[in-house]
Structure 1
Amino acid sequence: MNKWSKNQINTVFAAVSSWGLDAFDFFLLIFVISDIAHTFSVTNKEISLAIFITLACRPVGAIFIGKMAEKYGRKPVLMANVAAFSILSGLSAFAPTLTIFLAIRCLYGIAMGGIWGVASALAFETIPSKAKGFVSGLFQAGYPLGYLSAAVVYGLFFDHVGWRNLFLIGTFPVFLVAFIYFFVEESSVWKQAKNEKRQNLPIIPIMIQNWHICIFAIILMMCFNFFSHGTQDVYPLFLKEQHHLNTHTVSIIAICYNIASIIGGISFGTLSQKIGRPKAIIIASFFALCAIPLWAFSSNLVLLGLGAVMMQLMVQGAWGIIPIYLTELMPHNTRAVLPGVAYQLGNLLASVNLPLQVYIAETYGGNYSIALASIAMMASICIMLLMFFNIKRASSLISI
């Protein structure tokens, strides 16, 4: 990074922080599912609908906010987007009923859906081309960094302030808006397109024209979202309810596997620049598959923690390649919209994950191990198959 300009460094920091703080607000919820259920006198299964609604609404944000970024610029739209999800996180703290809480999380999902595409476009349009693999891993590492931050905040403050005040802490990302305003420049790629008056085509015709790429990307992202959410969202609940661990222990385990996630994302993102995106994804997915027995079925606390670290090192290792992989798949004039849309449509198809895992666990008498293992196994196998059958075409994209 010695040859990077100050703006390039600031832009990458803003992009990673935007995605990480968005994830921070999202993951606060998964630590307090049972507590919110107690407050509203409902079951964990009913509260899990908040996760489903958030994930299901993200494609709306990806399309609407992504189109705004193509029209008005990456920088102002990213600022508005960060402010929106921060405010909505804070409003979650004041929800008097479950219905209002779910409505707020619906709006939050729309705001969350816009961040990934806009922030990644701003970053990749600013950085040196040789740094794409590294920045892809670093950008995606923002997600487990957000999870890590949520775990730390949960462990330090929950027993003292309760779940509502945790969501008030979730308004903190709004301060990032000032940093973006003063220290980040607009994408030169977007400004050039505006000066040349290039017309951004409507999203539907572009998707139809590139239907084979879009279908592949959406199916791949469905598998990837099952891969991540299937190994993350229900895990704190699994630790609390099946292993009866306290707040402090759950927090420590979550912190450890999120540190591993960050390392995995950056390492495999960088590796993909050397061996190709698909090969790196296959390697990470294979070792995630191997980690399932230790991660889901260990009875010893140390082995359980070790399994969690191994799993998230590989899951987020594979995920670290996805931002640049999806960007390289798409036509140049759609990269603020189409990668995010494909990501979020795949996410929509996988949004049933948490209710599905809770249902599987309840069907087997509260056994979350089966729910975790089944989803993780299917997702990792499907990702490897998709990468294997696409490897010749995808490998050629590394030179882009």
Structure 2
Amino acid sequence: MKHAVEAIRLFKLLNRDQRNTFVACFLGWALDAFDFFLLTFVIVPMARDFSTSVADLSYAITITLAMRPVGAFIFGLLGDRFGRRIPLMTDIIFYSLMELLTAFSPNYTALLIFRALYGIGMGGEWGLGASLAMETLPTQARGLFSGVLQQGYAFGYLLAAVVYWLVFPLFGWRGLFVAGALPALLVLYIRARVPESPVWLRQQHAMGDFWKQVLFVLKRHWALFLYVILLMTAFNAMSHGTQDMYQTFLGEQRHYGVTQKATTGIIYAFGAICGGTIVGHLSQKWGRRRSIVLCCVLGIVLIPLWVFSPGYTLLVIGGFAMQFMVQGAWGIVPVHLNELSPDAVRGTFPGFAYQLGNL
């Protein structure tokens, strides 16, 4: 009860600009994840349509992840040079367009090209959105809202599960990717309601030559950059290892149908949202690193329940608990990386290190 009251107080602490900024950044990340996870639900029918194997079709996921550091670097530099707001809008339009083009892929090669380009857009969004949100929010609220922000990823998974359930039986996989282009409408909200980062505006007045500043910071903080890359490598292995192929596992190994897969995905996402929000908030008191380690240890303990449960009910419980821990740890990432990042490259540093961890 005490923590719930504190969370409500922190929500009320935000002014209108801070609320609008947070909502926009949350939705940007959620809809980015929504577009990514749509593919994970339809790997088998897409492989059938393109006359290729499931293993080959899975390269579409791999190439998306591989291109994310490119997007984080490009859009991160744009964010540090020109502000967070305009590059964020450009990025959302770009990844939405690539999602739409995926729906009209004429062959397997074209699909890989579109998913590679989509990966650039996906990689650019997180760093810009996380920086804009954390730079706008009050310091005392950052733990809670870091957890909520990162669970935009889980919310995107939840949304993908619902859309898959409703759209796929009627319109097939191509209809899913047409729906995946709708995030472009978020740009209208950002343009109308979201101001530029106050930290970036202040930093602009203090900066001299932009590129000299960037090179100086990277040279001075290379050890920190390496640490964050290694940390994000472990985090991405934990996240993608428990999510990306789980729907294929449910269908191919457990032989569950559309409804059971979608239901599992929805419950999975709720576990992630609860974990990220609760642990993110508690990290303000417990500390970032201690909270991360606790979630990782408990996640290891849950592996047998998550994978080897004999029945559907236990498997769902294991999935909920596993994602509570995985995304509980992930909920701390936005605030932790932004607290570690030098001011001059906060648009580039967290996102680029995060996405390099995907490799």
Q: Shorter chain as normaliser: what TM range?
A: over 0.9
CA distance in 2, matches of 1:164, 1:347: 27
Give 1:305's aligned residue.
316
The alignment status of 1:195 with 2:208, answered yes or no, reads: no
Q: Unaligned regions of 5+ residues in structure 1, if any?
A: 349-400
The alignment status of 1:342 with 2:353, answered yes or no, reads: yes
Give 2:110's aligned residue.
100
| Cα distance per residue 1:109-146 (max 9 Å; x no partner) | 00111101000111111110101101110110100000
| Cα distance per residue 1:169-223 (max 9 Å; x no partner) | 0011011000000010111111122234444346555333212111111111011
TM-score (norm 1): 0.85
> Which structure 2 residues correspond to residues 176-195 of structure 1 after superposition, within 5 A?
176-195=186-205
RMSD: 1.1
The alignment status of 1:234 with 2:245, answered yes or no, reads: yes
Give 1:223's aligned residue.
234
CA distance in 2, matches of 1:229, 1:117: 18
TM-score (norm 2): 0.95
**Aligned partner of 2:287: which letter?**
G
CA distance in 2, matches of 1:199, 1:7: 30
Moved more, 118-127 or 199-208: 199-208
**Aligned partner of 1:206: which letter?**
V
Give 2:143's aligned residue.
133
Q: 1:57 aligns with which of 28, 49, 67?
A: 67
Instruction: Give how far 1:248 is off.
Output: 0.7
CA distance in 2, matches of 1:338, 1:286: 27
Q: 2:162 aligns with which of 121, 127, 152?
A: 152
| Cα distance per residue 1:357-393 (max 9 Å; x no partner) | xxxxxxxxxxxxxxxxxxxxxxxxxxxxxxxxxxxxx
CA distance in 2, matches of 1:198, 1:112: 30
**Aligned partner of 1:182: which letter?**
A
CA distance in 2, matches of 1:288, 1:204: 38
Q: 1:279 aligns with which of 279, 290, 298?
A: 290
Give 1:164's aligned residue.
174
CA distance in 2, matches of 1:279, 1:273: 11
Give 1:88's aligned residue.
98
CA distance in 1, matches of 2:208, 2:287: 32
Give 1:316's aligned residue.
327
CA contact (8 A) 2:203 2:343 kept: no
| Cα distance per residue 1:311-355 (max 9 Å; x no partner) | 00100000000111111112121111101111011112xxxxxxx
Give 2:268's aligned residue.
257
Q: 2:342 aligns with which of 331, 341, 344?
A: 331
> Which structure 2 residues correspond to residues 6-17 of structure 1 after superposition, within 5 A?
6-17=16-27
Give 2:6's aligned residue.
none
SS of equivalent residue, structure 2 residue 58: helix
| Cα distance per residue 1:225-257 (max 9 Å; x no partner) | 000000000100000000000001100011001
Instruction: Give how far 1:3 is off.
Output: 2.6
Give 1:386's aligned residue.
none
Give the 3 Å change call, closer, same or farther, for CA 153–284 of structure 1 in structure 2.
same
